[in-house]
Amino acid sequence: MSASPYRNILLLLCSMVIVPNLAFKPLPPPVGVCTYWAAPPPLGNDLNPGSETQPWATLEHAADSVPDRRCTVWFLDGIYTGDNRIKRRFEAYARFKALHPYKAILQYAGPAVSIAGGSHMVLEGFVFQHTGPEATPLLVQVSRSDAFWSEYIVFYNNIFRSSYNNDLLKIYNGARFITVENNLFYNQGASEQQIDVNSVTDVTIQGNIFFNDFAASNRPVENNTKHYIVIKDSNEGEDALLGDERITVQRNIFLNWQGNPGETFLQVGNDGKSYFEARDVVVQNNLFLGNSPYPMRAVFGVSGAMNVSFINNTISGSLPSNAYAARITIKGANPKNENILLCNNIWSDSTGTMGSIGKGDDNEFAEGDPSNTINLVLDHNLYWNGGQNIPDGDLLSPLKDDPHRIIADPLLAVSFNDLDLPLWNGSEFPGGNLQIREEFLRIARAYGTLSQHSPALGKGSPDCAPANDIFRFARGLHPSFGADQGTAWLSSILPPNGLSTSRNQPGASLSE
């Protein structure tokens, strides 16, 4: 490919994928002065007026009853058992918020929360979980109801854990303008995902932590779960939408793989449909950690998608796999993939086993048939395989296909022996942290930051770099490779995303 057409493809991908999606992020509103209260029985009762001394008992009743005036319903500590089916369409954001983060638990032997055709809601500070192995499918779901799409829904600062049947969060069949931010996800059901983004548009998933630790749910590691996130369209024309559109996955942490060896952390397109299952997808500024001995297929997968950018991500650790970086292919009736960009990433395996699952298996960087993708671009990436050769693959070879490659040690932390998983014990996280954001910063600072001597600093392409990094610091005119721009040390002197004890009191604002 000549230099001029190559650059045109790069600019086309950046303009088509990155720019449109950033315009759709709905910002959570400030907490208003209109307040109501909820508490578990016996104090809480849905026949009560919802006052502080006579609170309601359920999220469903609160959503049905609260005025449409930017009200906040505060949920007192305790366990709320039951299903909550919400169809309310607010015109101004209504906020449903735990008074003390992660101490109001919504649980059920099935969907604890179902939002069908609802709009303008923020759910903040809850724990969502199944009651046990007898649960029916899904934990939290968002979808349309008849002609009404669910829209402008925000899940902020929650814990989604222990689904015994199906996904932790399913956003599907008619949802749009959904934000999933600053949450913690772990332990989905067998053969399922943590988040299923399915036949929807304008979804932003950012600032979350995804991992598995099945022992924490008193479950064995059976290596039978699927991706942490899948972005696809399974229902064909049922909702008059063919393929997800404008999906952003940014500034998240993925770690501690315990799933099926044939799956990926993040999959775009999956079901072999005859149309593009996803279009205009941005995956940027994420940290993927290979701290687990269990094998996977690859970090990232694409099957039947168009306009997908995988940019400024950091992949670090051994990640035993068929292919270290990506599996880009087609399934079933899929059309050929179009316009897939991998740019400004760090691919670093200090153990020298990049893309190997052991037992004599050959290392491989990426797998797939190149003829199944139109305009597949690998450019401006940093590679490190512990001083060993960088492997090639049937799909892509960094030494042949990346014209601006750098082969060098990015000087990332390489030992995960001291990595405590971010498990909430009911009172605190490991080391005494009280907020998910503090745990996010703990892990990202330890394993994703660039030192002042890193060869990744300032060497990325500005043509495909996002404006900010994983810590929301500006990249400027000289972007670095990977998720961190190299100014992460500044975050150590700042409060974690504006979080303070005052934010947990009634009347405090949510500042983003």
Copy the structure tokens of residue 386: 């512990």
CA 35 – CA 363 distance, rounded (Å): 58
Full DSSP string of 189-203? -TT--SEEEES-EEE
Neighbours of 53 (CB within 10 A): 8
Give the containing element (helix H, strand E) for 13: helix 3-13
Query: Can you give the pLDDT at residue 487?
Result: 77
pLDDT tens profile 452-471: 999 999 999 999 999 999 99
pLDDT tens profile 174-223: 999 999 999 999 999 999 999 999 999 999 999 999 999 999 999 999 99
Query: Can you give the pLDDT at residue 490?
Result: 55
Full DSSP string of 55-67? -BS-HHHHHHHS-
CA 305 – CA 323 distance, rounded (Å): 19
Query: Can you give the pLDDT at residue 134?
Result: 97
Neighbours of 29 (CB within 10 A): 17
In a domain, 511, yes or no: no
Instruction: Specify which of 28-37, 358-367, 377-386 reaches the highest per-range mean pLDDT.
Output: 377-386
Neighbours of 189 (CB within 10 A): 23
Are 347 and 315 in contact by the 8 Å Cβ rule? The answer is yes
Query: Can you give the pLDDT at residue 194?
Result: 98
Are 113 and 123 in contact by the 8 Å Cβ rule? The answer is yes
Per-residue pLDDT for 301 more than 60?
A: yes
CA 194 – CA 228 distance, rounded (Å): 5
Looking only at the bridges linking them, the beta strands covering 305-311 and 337-343 are parallel
Task: List own/partner pairs for 434-437 with CB under 8 A and 24 or more apart.
Answer: 434/101, 435/101, 435/157, 435/496, 435/499, 436/101, 436/157, 436/159, 436/182, 436/183, 436/184, 436/209, 437/157, 437/182, 437/207, 437/496, 437/497, 437/499
Residue 237's pLDDT band (cuts 50, 70, 90): confident
In a domain, 75, yes or no: no
Are 458 and 418 in contact by the 8 Å Cβ rule? The answer is no
pLDDT tens profile 101-110: 999 999 999 9
- Alpha helices, DSSP H, located in 352-501: 398-401, 436-448
CA 73 – CA 98 distance, rounded (Å): 8
Strand-pairing partners, residue 127, are 105, 159
Q: Which residue has the tokens 């319903």?
A: 73
Spell out the residues 6+ positions from residue 102 whose beta carbon is closer than 8 angstroms to its own. Answer: 125, 126, 127, 158, 159, 424, 426
Copy the structure tokens of residue 223: 């290596």
* Lowest-confidence pick of 3-7, 280-284, 346-350: 3-7
In a domain, 110, yes or no: no
The DSSP letter of residue 438 is H
Residue 26's pLDDT band (cuts 50, 70, 90): very low
Per-residue pLDDT for 496 more than 70?
A: no
Number of domains in the chain: 1
Instruction: Number of helices (H) and strands (E) in the chain: give both, helices first.
Output: 5, 34
- Residue type (1 letter), 316: S
* Lowest-confidence pick of 1-15, 163-177, 240-254: 1-15
In a domain, 369, yes or no: yes
In a domain, 268, yes or no: yes
Looking only at the bridges linking them, the beta strands covering 373-379 and 366-367 are unpaired
> How far is CA 452 from each of CA 455, 456, 487, rounded to the nearest angstrom?
9, 10, 9
Q: What is the mean pLDDT of residues 133-145?
A: 98
Per-residue pLDDT for 30 more than 70?
A: no
In a domain, 148, yes or no: no
Residue 358's pLDDT band (cuts 50, 70, 90): confident
Query: Can you give the pLDDT at residue 492?
Result: 53
Neighbours of 377 (CB within 10 A): 22
In a domain, 130, yes or no: no
Query: Can you give the pLDDT at residue 508?
Result: 32
**Domain of 367, in residue numbers:** 3-28+182-500
Query: Can you give the pLDDT at residue 360?
Result: 76
In a domain, 191, yes or no: yes
Collapsing DSSP to helix, strand or coil, 439 comes out as helix
Are 243 and 278 in contact by the 8 Å Cβ rule? The answer is yes
Its pTM stands at 0.92
